[in-house]
Structure 1
Amino acid sequence: MTEPHTSLTDAAHTVPLHVYIVDDDEGVRHSLATLLLAGGHVAQSFASGPDFLAGANLARPGCVLLDLRMDGMSGLQVFEAMRERGTVLKTVFLSAHGELASAVAAVKQGAVDWLEKPCDEATLLAAVQRAATLSQEVATRALQRTQLLERWNSLSPRQQEVARLLATGISSKEAARAMAQRDPERPIDPRTVDTHRSAIFLKLDIRSSHELGMLIQQMG
């Protein structure tokens, strides 16, 4: 496995991307790493799928250039293992002539693109950029959802119950009536709902029931 490198020539002109190269052909790994480094990116190479899965940071945004056909664990098997682990990395498959059907199938399963070897340099760099951008978007959404869940979990069970009702756009009076119907032994006054509303908005850092509805929808 090669150590991460950075290029000083073009670093000022591009945002460095973290790119993993997974290919059992040493010559391919070397040529791809050289191209990526010249583009100002960080390249890290692995000779096999298991080595990559053991040594890569699957939680960090970036791109994986993944050989479709390798001895031992195939590229598709590596890709499936990445999906099972919930990685934010995005994959560009590298395929040899005659592997079109497998490459297309991989794209349908969520890969960003596939390129036939030998790759055109400009096409490869564009695919890497596209994959890394998508990866960053996925990572950002995942972080936002984690932060939303943390704020949501800061609410008491009663506040969460009130929040779900208010998110539908009903008034405090209607929410109080609905809660009383659900649990007649624990009636609630509309003014108490208003108190919960204020606490909910404060904890979730929102200003309206519409924002509350959007937040709950984002959390699924």
Structure 2
Amino acid sequence: MTDSLLPPEPLRVYIVDDDEGVRHSLAALLLAGGHDARPLASGAEFLAQADLDRPGCVLLDLRMDGMSGLQVFEALQQRGTVLKTVFLSAHGEVASAVAAVKQGAVDWLEKPCDEATLLAAVTKAAQLSHALAERTQRHKLLLERWNSLSPRQQEVARVLATGVSSKEAARTLALRNPERPIDPRTVDTHRSAIFLKLDIRSSHELGMLVEDLGLPDGPVRTH
């Protein structure tokens, strides 16, 4: 039996700094460590080229010509990327760097930073980025499954997610909409279809799925 497992992709690390010397030295260090280093001279260039859905790390200079590091970081947050950011700051920019960490950046390093500290920060960012990508992918999958349900199935599913029996669910649905009464046997039919489409086996799993998705009262759509 042949081993079909592919080697893991190297970690992609974007180096966004308007200092050419800094970009080249950091890229050489990261390439030597087996990482996929992508040096970029500006925030605008980075935002135009970066794959925001692929896990990775951004080494982001806090102060640059054009877009500042904070402006680039805010743009990343607005776009919902799975990339994680480590700020590079010069002496005297500590307050801004700490504020950025409080807003969700992984860490900040004062330039020049030593090799071990830099690689540790990149490793931490990589772990957080991969975990976020997995959560994002799971949420997308669950949402696609939920949206495969009909509006009526979604209505029934929300009631069943509370753990009630088919008889109790039928009573609740009838009270909510007297013009559309439903009997327990029909609820059972819906339950089977819901479990099949959502790939679950119990009302407990259904309850966790509804909670994970944070479903509002109305139907949820991916687009």
TM-score range, shorter chain: over 0.9
One of 209, 218, 221 as aligned partner of 1:215: 209
Q: CA deviation at 1:16?
A: 2.0
Structure 1 residue matching 2:58: 3-state secondary structure: strand
Match of 1:132 among 89, 109, 126: 126
Within the candidate set 81, 92, 98, 1:87 is matched to 81
Residues 113-151 of structure 1 show CA distances to partners (whole Å, capped at 9, x for unaligned) of 000111110110010011011111111111111111111
Rounded to whole Å, the distance in 2 between the matches of 1:59 and 1:97 is: 32
Q: Once the two structures are aligned, what percentage of the paired residues are identical?
A: 80
Partner of 2:46: 52
Aligned-pair distance for 1:86? 1.1
Offset of residue 186 of structure 1: 1.1
Cα deviation, residue 69, structure 1: 0.7
Give the root-mean-square deviation of aligned CA atoms: 1.2
Is 2:157 aligned against 1:163?
A: yes
1:15: Cα distance to partner? 6.4
- Residue identity in the other structure for 1:32: L
Any runs of at least 4 consecutive aligned residues in structure 1 with deviations exceeding 4 A, and if so which? none
Counterparts of 1:63 and 1:21, CA distance in 2: 9
The secondary structure found in structure 1 opposite 2:37 is strand
Once the two structures are superposed, residues 131-180 of structure 1 have per-residue CA deviations (whole angstroms, 9 ceiling, x without a partner) of 01111111111111111111111111111111000100111101000111
Q: Which of 96, 107, 110 pairs up with 1:116?
A: 110
Which residue of the partner structure matches residue 199 of structure 2?
A: 205
**Which residue type is aligned with residue 142 of structure 2?**
L
Whole-angstrom distance in 2 between the partners of 1:58 and 1:138: 12
Relative to the length of structure 1, the TM-score reads 0.92
**1:7 aligns to what?**
none
1:206, distance to aligned residue in structure 2 (A):
0.6
Q: Which residue of the partner structure matches residue 172 of structure 2?
A: 178
2:32 match: 38
Counterpart in the other structure of 2:55: 61
Residue identity matched to 1:211: E
Q: Which of these residues, 104, 117, 120, is aligned with residue 98 of structure 2?
A: 104
Structure 2: which 5+ runs fail to align? 1-6, 215-223
Aligned to 2:138: 144
SS at match of 1:215: helix
In the comparison of the two structures, how many residue pairs are matched?
208
